Amino acid sequence: MQARTVSTTPFNDQKPGTSGLRKRVEVFRQAHYLENFVQSIFDSIAAPQGATLALGGDGRYFNREAIQIILKMAAANGFRRVLVGKGGILSTPAASCVIRKYQTCGGIILSASHNPGGPDGDFGIKYNTANGGPAPEKITEAIYAASKAISQYRIADTSDIELDTLGDSGLGDMIVSVIDPVGDYAELMESLFDFAAIRKLLSGGFFIKFDAMHAVTGPYAREILVNCLGAAPDSVMNAEPLPDFGGGHPDPNLTYAHELVEVLYGGNAPDFGAASDGDGDRNMILGKHFFVTPSDSLAILAANAHLVPGYKQGLAGIARSMPTSAAADRVAAALGIPCYETPTGWKFFGNLMDAGKVTLCGEESFGTGSDHIREKDGLWAVLFWLNILAVRKQSVEDIVREHWARFGRNVYSRHDYEGIPIDAANGVMKLLRDSFSKFSAQKLGNYTADFCDDFSYTDPVDGSVSTGQGVRIIFTDGSRIVFRLSGTGTEGATLRIYLESFEPDVAQHHLDAQEALAELINIALEISELRERTGRERPTVIT
């Protein structure tokens, strides 16, 4: 193998977001673009000579080509071994599992998560550390700094590696181990859940439908749900991973997973429905004609964790992102355990889990997980729900309504305004920040503002401080409006409005969330001047 050093110049747009670097495919396909960022990772993490790296992605367009480039660069940068998923496939949860099981120095995951794929779609790359979780800010900032100063990268001159056959092959002094992308993950799931009880449920006339959305979880769902647990083969739909996700948008919500929603709200609906996203870390849970909000899902998993073998010993604590509803807080209080409120981004949960402070965690953006890995995990959440259903022998709707009756209902919704002009989005946020003093103690409709702030977080483990995490207006009755710019898009800006009120009265729990939150929605639009400043009359997505 001949390694060569290639001269290059920096790109000015390689600052990682909350989940790595995401850009259009055409951006990543520019000469030197991917190579610059990968070399910046290698230069920043200072892996020891002879280290092992995990590598894989969600199968989207450019995944295979990127893996070949990264393998050649890893060989030229002194890695001893790379574990790569067969066909270049590794779901994000599975990659975290592999990193932890084989104690690699970390891993590179190729995904833009729930963003669309294809030649005109998005691509992404992120580095996960040896704990299996996303790199913390001190590492992503170091990567960004390196990308702004890079002048050369190292790459091997060699032919491509065969990715579709399991086993080891050599790339110079480096071993490339093509591994089964599903096996290690499936083994971990069986250690956490009562597979026998779930098999009995699925063989007793309980029907499920899982939508893989032509994304990475298709092979995982077929192996676990069908082959291991005995679900009917047609229980998994859109199971073949495709580079463009079949032309769909692999985001498991009521808008983009409409095919599954139509099945669960149609005639002869199955008892349980679920979907996962592009890289397998998100989930949507449905019952027959019933939608479970991600905030409620986290709270219900926590309240029922004692029914699941892997969690029957109890929970150390719960963590949720700031925009996520306080439903989990109520469960934590009842269990006598702490509940941490963090910024959006799984890396914040990873610190808490590594310190043994929390067991379960979740975000309102359809992500739930636990300390079994250091990423959110879509299929894990599905199995957790199936385990609870197998034990309680009730419908999804009955379990949710019983939960509300016990803890009260945190009525919750998120309104996404996608692809709006960046200047207009920044203008909305500036207006809100400039209005803090005006909102405080002010009567807004039937609500009185208690306080307003731009959420900041001091990590209780390492003392790091994160500021500017979202504008909050907290009302005296505990209701909230939160405004936040999302860091997961690649074009324009996504402005998200989160709305929450608490309803203890069981007689009101039947209300549709949009109906119950109507006044808060109008207040949010009025004080933000969103329609006037963006020209948008309605959200792109409502969840």
Q: Are residues 151 and 270 in the same domain?
A: no
User: Which CATH number belongs to the domain containing residue 84 in this structure?
Assistant: 3.40.120.10
User: Which CATH number belongs to the domain containing residue 492 in this structure?
Assistant: 3.30.310.50
pLDDT band at 487 (very low <50, low <70, confident <90, very high): low
Q: Are residues 213 and 74 in the same domain?
A: no
Which range of residues forms the domain containing residue 477?
A: 409-542
d(CA 18, CA 174): 31
Using CB atoms within 10 Å of the CB of residue 141, give its burial: 0 to 12 exposed, 13 to 18 middle, 19+ buried: middle
Q: Are residues 196 and 245 in the same domain?
A: yes
Residue 488 scores a pLDDT above 60: no
Q: Are residues 30 and 139 in the same domain?
A: yes
pLDDT at 436: 85
Q: Are residues 454 and 503 in the same domain?
A: yes
Q: Are residues 344 and 369 in the same domain?
A: yes
Looking at the annotation, which residues are catalytic?
113
Residue 440 scores a pLDDT above 90: no
pLDDT band at 274 (very low <50, low <70, confident <90, very high): very high
Q: Are residues 487 and 371 in the same domain?
A: no
d(CA 235, CA 209): 5
pLDDT at 490: 56
The 10 Å CB-count burial string (b at 16+, else e) for 17-55 is bbbbbbbbbebbbeebbbbbbbbbbbbbbebeeebbbbb
Across the chain, mean pLDDT equals 95
Q: Tally the domains of the chain.
A: 3
pLDDT at 256: 93
Q: Are residues 163 and 225 in the same domain?
A: no
pLDDT at 498: 97
Q: Are residues 116 and 191 in the same domain?
A: no
pLDDT at 437: 80
The domain boundary residue, chosen from 373, 407, 441: 407
In tens, the pLDDT along 72-102 reads: 999 999 999 999 999 999 999 999 999 999 9
Contact by Cβ (8 Å): 375, 93:
yes
pLDDT at 137: 86
In tens, the pLDDT along 184-209 reads: 999 999 999 999 999 999 999 999 99
The domain boundary residue, chosen from 163, 181, 199: 181
Q: Are residues 158 and 191 in the same domain?
A: no
pLDDT at 347: 84
pLDDT band at 428 (very low <50, low <70, confident <90, very high): very high
Residue 21 scores a pLDDT above 70: yes
The domain boundary residue, chosen from 352, 377, 407: 407
